[in-house]
């Protein structure tokens, strides 16, 4: 004869089976199905993807640690931005044929885009590189001067130096708005009278001076080399000295930004 006390319902056996499940810091939620109760611990969410602003080169200055290699764009970034100029100079020195010399770096730049597409990597940076190489190649080809390949870069640095310098004179530090946007405050750092905002404003002023010095130095060094027709020297400045100087400026920017309190400290109190 079977006694009722000997019979176990499915739910009872399930509770007995899971009675020794260790407790955890997170709540355990019961899930019922087909007469059983299974205890399932919540799955921790994956780490959020890094914001696009922080994955940029300037965004590297916002981290707790400074990654020089990441700031320079990594191996791929350095190759895509510097190898075309090297190819142009080497090809021109070897052949003295301007047509071949401007086509070679263009082929490499297009190849870099194709590789990104095959590997399903964002092709936008490489497409920008193709545009810059095409402009540089056009300057060299239509002028017939090899040093003109570097003229777009010289003009760009000169323009940046003028714009950033004017922003300093007007007391609207250009890099302040860039860093403010990356840190989540586009303009309150300039208008707020909160002590933290005032300190932030002074820091942004210093950062803007540093970037102005970089742009001005590039232009001051390259303009005489361009006027003298020193193509090889211009390539060395771009390929070797350029990344080193840029990395140093990013590092100095990081040193200044990391000391700043969070923007929320003054955004909570508006003047």
Q: Where are the domains of the chain?
A: 60-267
Helix, strand, or coil here: 258? Answer: coil
In contact, 195 and 268? CB cutoff 8 Å: no
User: Model confidence over 210-230: pLDDT tens digits?
Assistant: 999 999 999 999 999 999 999
- Nearest CA among 137, 200, 202, 217 for reference residue 168: 202
Which position has the higher pLDDT, 103 or 61? Answer: 103
pTM over 0.85: no
Query: What is the average pLDDT across 78-84?
Result: 93
Which CB contacts under 8 angstroms, 24+ apart, belong to 219-225?
219/154, 219/157, 219/158, 219/161, 222/150, 222/153, 222/154, 222/157, 223/154, 223/158, 225/147
Q: Which residue has the higher pLDDT, 195 or 36?
A: 195
């Amino acid at each position: 004869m079977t006694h009722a006390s000997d019979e176990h319902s499915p739910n009872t056996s399930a509770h007995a089976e899971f009675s020794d499940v260790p407790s955890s810091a997170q709540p355990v939620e019961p899930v019922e199905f087909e007469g059983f109760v299974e205890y399932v611990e919540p799955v921790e969410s994956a780490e959020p993807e890094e914001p696009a602003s922080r994955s940029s080169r300037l965004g590297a200055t916002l981290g707790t640690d400074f990654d020089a290699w990441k700031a320079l764009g990594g191996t791929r970034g350095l190759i895509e931005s510097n190898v075309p100029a090297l190819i142009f100079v080497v090809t021109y020195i070897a052949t003295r044929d301007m047509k071949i010399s401007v086509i070679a770096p263009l082929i490499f730049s297009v190849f870099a885009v194709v590789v990104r597409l095959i590997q399903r990597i964002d092709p936008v940076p490489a497409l920008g590189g193709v545009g810059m190489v095409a402009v540089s190649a056009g300057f060299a080809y239509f002028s017939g001067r090899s040093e003109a390949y570097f003229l777009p870069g010289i003009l760009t640095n000169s323009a940046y130096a003028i714009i950033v310098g004017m922003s300093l004179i007007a007391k609207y530090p250009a890099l302040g708005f860039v860093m403010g946007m990356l840190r989540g405050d586009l303009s309150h750092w300039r208008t707020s009278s909160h002590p933290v905002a005032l300190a932030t404003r002074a820091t942004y002023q210093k950062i803007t001076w540093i970037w102005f010095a970089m742009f001005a130095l590039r232009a001051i060094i390259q303009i005489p080399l361009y006027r003298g027709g020193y193509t090889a020297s211009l390539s060395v400045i771009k390929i070797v000295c350029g990344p080193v100087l840029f990395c140093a400026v990013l590092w100095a920017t990081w040193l200044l930004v990391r000391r700043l309190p969070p923007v929320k400290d003054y955004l909570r109190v508006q003047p």
